[in-house]
């Protein structure tokens, strides 16, 4: 019997939510067969099993969160005569974190079982290299003889220490709130302490603090009222409230935005712009080639890319450890996209090297992939500048939050007809509000205002683009 634990998902991910099982108890599985779909903080992916056999147990149901290193599925490898698993010489399955209870190699490939080395579909395999951890690992030597290596002797019976938590995120939350994870009874597999256990301990502590006496004055007042008979009050029914756990992409975005507010001294500038020229340009481009349409977001992105050539400080980040401002020679453009899984910021790499139509096509395709949940984690990280068309939600303006560790984000509100002075007359014109939130450490208001004014001028008079292309 072999337990396959949730493997290291990469990208700093420490847990995943089960979306759907691809197999049931009693099914026969083969090496590298996808057995479950999980949703991480970055994307939905399928997890392949590194060995074959008959499924004997599923450790969790849809909607449950599994920590990296916790058992995912149990396989009876002897049931199908698959004791040797995938017998390619030199291939081993990487060990998973926190799998001390399993007593063997990682990913459930213990004893005489060799896996394929696959971790996640789309994430690559172990390439035959065993992870250097404190557990045990088994591999095949060059002559085909199985060998076993142990980094340290096993502790004597009764003295074995169990690590109660494997997630660095859970450890950090506990440390910030003064919670000793060793004192908690974990609700995960084998007593594993999960994030919900730490949050429950924090809530219990806060509740106890709120119910404690507020001071001597309150005690004295209570003593003075003790002699006065009190009328019994009816007990109030507890207030019911829905609790929705922060998980997946929403949890990641919450952490990133919170960090942005904590670390970045941001400032915001904004300006109204007559969008007549922008709309006319879009209509002309789409009329000339309807098969390759150009969106308002694509034109806004093009204006920003040209502006970053003039004001490169906004395309960078702050290296706090070395006290340096970093400016990039490329633009990996992030853009805000609302999806069924929450707000995401997909990234279009080397956007500054694309034509306007290429950029429009890439933005459209990436948006569709983000909403379908098929974007790989690599497409959700590494941005250097972000644009946001929040006007699609019918709002005029917004003080956007910078996508940490970037240093600036441009936003555009809805385009609506308003009174506008043209020459000496007041006429109705389509007007939009542009905003720029920027990190005040990288530039002052003069540079930030200059950048936003350039973008606004392009919106009003797109012919200005010809001077920079």
Q: Which of 125, 6, 19, 43 is nearest to 377 (CA)?
A: 43
Report the pLDDT value the prediction gives residue 91, as an integer from 0 to 100: 35
Among all residues, which ones are annotated catalytic? 440, 444
**Phi-psi sector, 90: left (phi>0), alpha (psi -120 to 50), beta:** left
Count Cβ atoms within 10 A of the Cβ of residue 97 and give its class: 0-12 exposed, 13-18 middle, 19 or more buried.
buried
Report the pLDDT value the prediction gives residue 42, as an integer from 0 to 100: 62
Helix extents (H) in 311-440: 356-372
Report the pLDDT value the prediction gives residue 171, as an integer from 0 to 100: 72
Report the pLDDT value the prediction gives residue 89, as an integer from 0 to 100: 37
Q: Which of 78, 139, 74 is nearest to 105 (CA)?
A: 139
Q: Which of 367, 455, 450 is nearest to 411 (CA)?
A: 455
Measured CA to CA, the distance from residue 281 to residue 57 in angstroms comes to 60
Q: Which of 170, 98, 160 is nearest to 131 (CA)?
A: 98
Intra-chain end-to-end CA distance of the chain, in Å: 64
Read off the tokens for 307. Answer: 């502006």
Q: Give the long-range contacts of residues 57-61, CB within 8 A, separation 24 or more.
A: 57/25, 58/21, 58/23, 58/24, 58/25, 59/3, 59/189, 60/18, 61/18
Residue 41 CB-half CA count within 13 A: 20
β 425-439/408-412 pair status: antiparallel
Q: Say if CB 162 and CB 99 are below 8 A apart.
A: no
Residues of the chain with pLDDT under 50: 82-163, 215-217, 219-220, 222-233
Please tell me the pTM assigned to this model: 0.55
Q: Say if CB 86 and CB 116 are below 8 A apart.
A: yes
């Amino acid at each position: 019997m072999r337990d396959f634990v949730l493997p290291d998902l990469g990208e700093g991910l420490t847990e995943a939510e089960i979306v759907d099982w691809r197999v049931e108890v009693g099914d026969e599985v083969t090496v590298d067969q996808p057995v479950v779909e999980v949703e991480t903080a970055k994307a939905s992916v399928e997890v392949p099993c590194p060995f074959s056999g008959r499924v004997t147990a599923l450790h969790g149901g849809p909607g449950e969160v599994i920590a990296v290193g916790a058992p995912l599925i149990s396989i009876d490898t002897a049931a199908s005569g698959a004791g040797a698993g995938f017998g390619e010489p030199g291939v081993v399955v990487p060990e998973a974190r926190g799998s001390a209870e399993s007593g063997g190699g990682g990913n459930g490939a213990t004893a005489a079982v060799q896996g394929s080395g696959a971790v996640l579909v789309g994430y690559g395999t172990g390439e035959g290299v065993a992870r250097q951890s404190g557990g045990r690992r088994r591999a095949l030597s060059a002559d085909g003889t199985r060998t076993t290596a142990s980094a340290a002797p096993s502790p004597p019976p009764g003295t074995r220490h169990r690590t109660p938590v494997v997630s660095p995120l859970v450890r950090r939350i506990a440390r910030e709130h003064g919670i000793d994870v060793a004192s908690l009874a974990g609700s995960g597999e084998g007593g594993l302490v999960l994030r919900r256990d730490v949050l429950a301990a924090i809530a219990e502590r806060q509740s106890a603090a709120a119910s404690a006496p507020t001071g001597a004055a309150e005690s004295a007042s209570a003593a003075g009222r003790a002699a006065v008979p009190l009328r019994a009050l009816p007990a109030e029914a507890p207030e019911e409230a829905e609790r929705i756990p922060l998980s997946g992409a929403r949890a990641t975005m919450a952490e990133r935005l919170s960090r942005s507010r904590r670390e970045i001294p941001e400032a915001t500038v904004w300006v109204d712009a007559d969008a007549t020229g922008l709309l006319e340009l879009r209509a002309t481009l789409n009329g000339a080639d309807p098969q390759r349409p150009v969106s308002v977001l694509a034109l806004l992105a093009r204006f920003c890319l040209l502006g970053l050539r003039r004001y490169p400080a906004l395309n960078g980040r702050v290296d706090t450890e070395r006290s340096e401002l970093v400016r990039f020679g490329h633009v990996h453009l992030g853009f805000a996209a609302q999806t069924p899984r929450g707000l995401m910021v997909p990234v279009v790499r080397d956007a500054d090297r694309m034509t306007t139509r290429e950029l429009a096509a890439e933005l459209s395709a990436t948006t569709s992939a983000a909403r379908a949940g098929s974007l790989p984690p690599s497409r959700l990280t590494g941005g250097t500048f972000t644009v946001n068309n929040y006007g699609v939600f019918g709002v005029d303006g917004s003080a956007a939050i910078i996508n940490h560790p970037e240093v600036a984000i441009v936003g555009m509100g809805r385009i609506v007809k308003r009174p506008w002075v043209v020459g000496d007359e007041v006429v109705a014109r389509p007007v939009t509000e542009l905003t720029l939130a920027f990190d005040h450490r990288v530039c002052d208001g003069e540079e930030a205002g200059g950048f936003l004014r350039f973008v606004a001028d392009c919106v009003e008079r797109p012919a200005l683009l010809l001077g920079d292309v």
